[in-house]
Amino acid sequence: MKKLTLFLTMLVAFCMVNAQPEIKFDSQTYDFGKIKEEGGKVTGRFEFTNVGNQDLILVNVKPGCGCTAANYSKEPVAPGQKGFIEATYNPYNRPGAFNKNIRVTTNEPRFEQENAAPHMIFIKGEVLKRPPTVFEKAQYTNGNGMARIKTGNVSHNMMNTEVVRDTFKVRNFWTKPVTFTLDAKHDYITEVGRNFGGALQPGQEGHIILQYDAAKRNAFGQVRDFVTFTTNDSLESRKAIHYAVNIKEDFSKLTEKQLKMAPAVQYSAVSHHFGDVQKNTQNTTTISVKNIGRSPLAIRSVNANSGYFKVTSDMKEVPVNGTATVTITFKASNRAGRQKATVDIITNDPANPVQVVDVDANVL
């Protein structure tokens, strides 16, 4: 009786070990051939069979860049039955040959091993370049409407005492006149001229001049602003212009005596490595900012160039021989890998107005 029980146990174990799903694709490559760039999205279908003896489940279907695969067999595929994965490619603005992969993992036993390689399927083809649009011919590719601004982005490095003017070309591709009205959102960005009246006529190209006043902006370091024009364009009524401005303090008018009596900053550190940190955790460090000069030290701004790092200062003005504390907090996301950033500490120290602090962390 004991021998029979042992035999049955071994038989059940053998069956369990050998009962497993197995995927087999009819083809692992789908060739779209030649497709038109303006023809819209194309979809290829991969079919597979479960040649195993247990239900097959697609655990993860991960397409490469420019490709999507949202439609695939979501339910278990029984032994001997077929399933599918549909891969969609958008050829717009992607002329030329392409070869994209889709990584597929299943409930097959081999995926229980760490770092098991996924199944790979591929889509390929060649996108035939479309004829240029009327907007592209005129080099007005910014925006989506019938009236457009040629360049909607501008950047400046400027002193806090400076005023700059920028000329923006505009063109009306519509059959109706288009009006441009600046939304008065900021007093430091104003319209100071244009070479057309209240409306831009059909086919007409003109320009609008905007003025950026750093003194009125009253900020230091890297700042981003935008203004919009309201139009009667039926496709895109609001036209935006974006500013990226680095504002520096102007010390050029300080006398020799004022420079001798100026504040001077001393930092306890100019870099910090948070080391290995766990996902979804928060880690903090501090940097001491001491005023070793002869007049109060103003901390103009503290700012990180990454949203994962938050920076605060407990003081805006540091007395002579006083010390402020700048706190840098790293909020680790659920994504592993190294995160790097820079923190700008801006003060009114004429000798060292901007201190760049390098920070990084390794998310496990």
Give the integer Cα–Cα distance in Å for 60 and 80: 21
Mean pLDDT of the chain: 93
Determine the pLDDT at residue 13: 45
Give the integer Cα–Cα distance in Å for 331 and 346: 23
Token reading at 221? 């370091």
Please report, rounded to a whole number, the percentage of residues in the chain having pLDDT higher than 90: 89
Q: Please enumerate in sequence order all residues whose Cβ is within 8 A of that of 336, keeping only pairs 6 or more positions apart, or say none.
A: 279, 363, 364
Q: Could you give the domains of the chain? A: 2-128 (2.60.40.10), 135-248 (2.60.40.10), 256-363 (2.60.40.10)
pLDDT above 70 (res 264): yes
Q: Which long-range contacts (CB under 8 A, 24 or more apart) does 130-138 make?
A: 130/36, 130/37, 130/38, 130/95, 134/173, 135/173, 138/171, 138/173
269-303, pLDDT tens digit by residue? Answer: 999 999 999 999 999 999 999 999 999 999 999 99
Residue 291: beta bridge partners? 265
Closest CA to 344 of 331, 323, 333, 328: 328
Determine the pLDDT at residue 2: 53
Cα radius of gyration rounded to whole Å, the chain: 31
Q: Please enumerate in sequence order all residues whose Cβ is within 8 A of that of 57, keeping only pairs 6 or more positions apart, or say none.
A: 21, 76, 77, 106, 107
pLDDT band at 17 (very low <50, low <70, confident <90, very high): low
pLDDT above 50 (res 7): no
Edge-to-edge strands, sheet with 178-182: 153-159, 238-248, 221-231, 178-182, 199-200
Token reading at 149? 């601004």
3-state secondary structure at position 207: strand
3-state secondary structure at position 304: strand
The secondary element (H helix, E strand) that includes residue 2 is helix 2-18
Whether pTM exceeds 0.75:
no
Whether residue 363 contacts residue 335, with contact meaning beta carbons closer than 8 Å, is answered with yes
pLDDT above 70 (res 1): no
